[in-house]
């Protein structure tokens, strides 16, 4: 069984690398097309950024494969022998934390290269070493406290309940819902300053928009996103009473009022069409499939790994193998998600105008240097949004490209 798992993981890695190579080939050609959507200089820069990112992801995929083999061939067994605790639950908590910490440290060079190499070269990243370290410290501490509680809970469910995977799913899904609920009001403020939107006129227009959509929210805020990165964004987060509109300060600075309202209109479209609820249901189904899978792993896999079927091994296998499962579920989810994006665009353009939304999307792409074209396989396996060129065409902008 172990051999089959190794072969599947290797094929998965090779397939990801194949997609990256296809994308690289595509970008090499597309870079020479007549520039669309973006100004000529940004168009070339965006293509280069994407090509560099692809090259990095090829290296990191190979590195992950190496790590996977390391864990499966001796890492898990080794960790079982060095982490010794009388208490079964305590052992599980320390084991999984150690596994995650080791993986994180081994992956850190890639994160540092992305943030301080690539993103600095292309002028996105504004983060300094101090903010980076503070972020790291805060998220590690949070994980240590809440992650440990969660690991303890799941371990307890695994050893105590029959058909543990159903109860494990129920518990984790409840936690996911809870985190969604408290994210904008309790978690996000740990990392960013939230300020009520100062511009009264803009604030009134936004509140008007919310009211028209029949939405009660606990406010419109801007965050100091510019202390990390120059890219623009906005989100509409939270569930129930914690719902809030969050605008990156970078977005407020760069977009005109009508463009901003169109972008928010798009986000409101997601709310209006209950996309957030649909996404929660979809991720629930995905999670259930995964729990079903990991709750019924064959004994021969554990024999092959030379380990007992302990909670910590089941949980670490979840971390190691769930990316493969979600990768192959992505194409289906992508189809639904792209459909929802078109619908949200329609709503957004009704809130403001097609022109305003189109011009906002183009500004976003230009500021974020996001290359407007991609290879088909990349779209199928990685994109949650339709290609920008197609979105603009639906909004009535005449974009003709060579592709
Ligand atoms: Zn959207």
Query: In the structure encoding, which two tokens stand for residue 26, read together?
Result: 């595509």
384 CA distance to ligand 1 middle (Å): 9
352 CA distance to ligand 1 middle (Å): 16
72 CA distance to ligand 1 middle (Å): 39
Query: What's the pLDDT at 261?
Result: 92
Query: What's the pLDDT at 403?
Result: 58
* Residue 86 DSSP label: S
56 CA distance to ligand 1 middle (Å): 27
Query: What's the pLDDT at 311?
Result: 94
% of the chain exceeding 90 in pLDDT: 58
Cα–Cα nearest to 70, from 281, 305, 308: 305
Q: Give the whole-angstrom CA distance, residue 37 versus residue 30.
A: 13
* Residue 114 DSSP label: I
- Predicted TM-score (pTM) of the model is 0.85
Cβ atoms of residues 138 and 190 within 8 Å? yes
Q: Where are the alpha helices (DSSP H) in 74-125?
A: 76-82, 88-112, 119-121
Query: What's the pLDDT at 401?
Result: 67
pLDDT tens for the chain, 403 residues: list them: 899 999 999 999 999 999 999 999 999 998 888 888 888 888 999 899 999 999 999 999 999 999 999 999 999 999 999 999 989 999 999 999 999 999 999 999 999 998 888 888 888 888 888 999 999 999 899 889 999 999 999 999 999 998 999 999 999 999 988 888 888 888 888 888 988 888 888 888 888 888 888 877 777 889 998 888 888 888 877 777 767 888 888 888 889 999 999 999 998 898 888 888 888 899 999 999 999 999 999 999 999 999 999 999 999 999 999 999 999 999 999 999 999 999 999 999 998 899 999 999 999 888 888 898 899 999 999 998 998 888 999 998 877 766 5
Query: In the structure encoding, which two tokens stand for residue 370, read together?
Result: 């996001």
233 CA distance to ligand 1 middle (Å): 11
Query: In the structure encoding, which two tokens stand for residue 248, read together?
Result: 């990156």
* Residue 34 DSSP label: P
337 CA distance to ligand 1 middle (Å): 8
3 CA distance to ligand 1 middle (Å): 41
Query: What's the pLDDT at 180?
Result: 83
Instruction: Return the H-helix or E-strand segment holding 247.
Output: strand 244-248
- Transcribe 285-335 into DSSP letters: HHHHHHHHHHTT--HHHHHHHT----HHHHHHHHHHHHHHHHHHHHHHHHH
Q: In 1-73, where do the E strands start and end?
A: none
Query: What's the pLDDT at 400?
Result: 72
What torsion do the CA atoms of 5, 7, 12, 15 make, to the nearest 10 degrees? Answer: -170
392 CA distance to ligand 1 middle (Å): 14
Cβ atoms of residues 173 and 289 within 8 Å? no
270 CA distance to ligand 1 middle (Å): 7
99 CA distance to ligand 1 middle (Å): 35
Q: Give the whole-angstrom CA distance, residue 296 versus residue 169.
A: 13
139 CA distance to ligand 1 middle (Å): 27
Query: What's the pLDDT at 332?
Result: 92
């Amino acid at each position: 069984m172990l051999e089959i798992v190794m072969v599947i993981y290797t094929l998965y890695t090779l397939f990801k690398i194949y997609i990256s190579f296809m994308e690289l080939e595509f970008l090499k050609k597309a870079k020479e097309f007549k520039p669309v959507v973006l100004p000529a200089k940004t168009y070339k820069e965006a293509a280069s950024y994407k090509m560099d990112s692809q090259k990095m992801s090829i290296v990191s995929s190979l590195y992950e494969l190496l790590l996977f083999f390391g864990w499966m061939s001796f890492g898990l067994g080794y960790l079982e022998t060095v982490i010794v605790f009388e208490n079964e639950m305590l052992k599980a908590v320390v084991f999984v934390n150690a596994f995650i910490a080791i993986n994180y440290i081994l992956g850190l060079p890639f994160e540092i290269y992305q943030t301080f190499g690539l993103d600095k070269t292309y002028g996105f990243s504004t983060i300094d070493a101090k903010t980076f370290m503070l972020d790291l410290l805060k998220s590690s501490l949070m994980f240590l406290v809440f992650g440990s509680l969660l690991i303890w809970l799941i371990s307890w469910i695994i050893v105590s309940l029959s058909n543990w995977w159903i109860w494990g799913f129920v518990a984790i899904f409840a936690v996911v819902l809870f985190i969604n609920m408290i994210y904008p009001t309790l978690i996000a403020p740990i990392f960013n300053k939230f300020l009520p939107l100062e511009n009264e006129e803009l604030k009134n227009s936004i509140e008007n928009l919310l009211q028209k959509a029949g939405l009660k929210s606990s406010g419109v805020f801007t965050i100091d996103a510019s202390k990390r990165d120059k890219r623009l964004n906005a989100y509409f987060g939270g569930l129930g009473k914690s719902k809030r509109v969050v605008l990156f300060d970078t977005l407020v600075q760069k977009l005109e009022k009508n463009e901003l309202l169109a972008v928010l209109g798009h986000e409101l479209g997601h709310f209006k069409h209950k996309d957030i609820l649909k996404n929660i249901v979809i991720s629930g189904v995905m999670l259930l499939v995964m729990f079903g899978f990991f709750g019924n792993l064959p004994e021969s896999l554990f024999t092959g790994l030379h380990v007992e079927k302990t909670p910590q091994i089941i949980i670490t296998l979840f971390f190691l193998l769930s990316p493969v499962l979600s990768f192959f579920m992505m194409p289906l989810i992508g189809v639904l998600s792209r459909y929802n994006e078109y619908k949200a665009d329609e709503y957004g353009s009704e809130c403001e105008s097609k022109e305003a939304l189109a011009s906002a999307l183009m500004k976003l792409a230009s500021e974020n240097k996001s290359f407007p074209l991609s290879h088909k396989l990349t779209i199928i396996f990685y994109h949650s949004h339709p290609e920008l060129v197609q979105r603009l065409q639906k909004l009535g902008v005449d974009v003709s490209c060579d592709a």
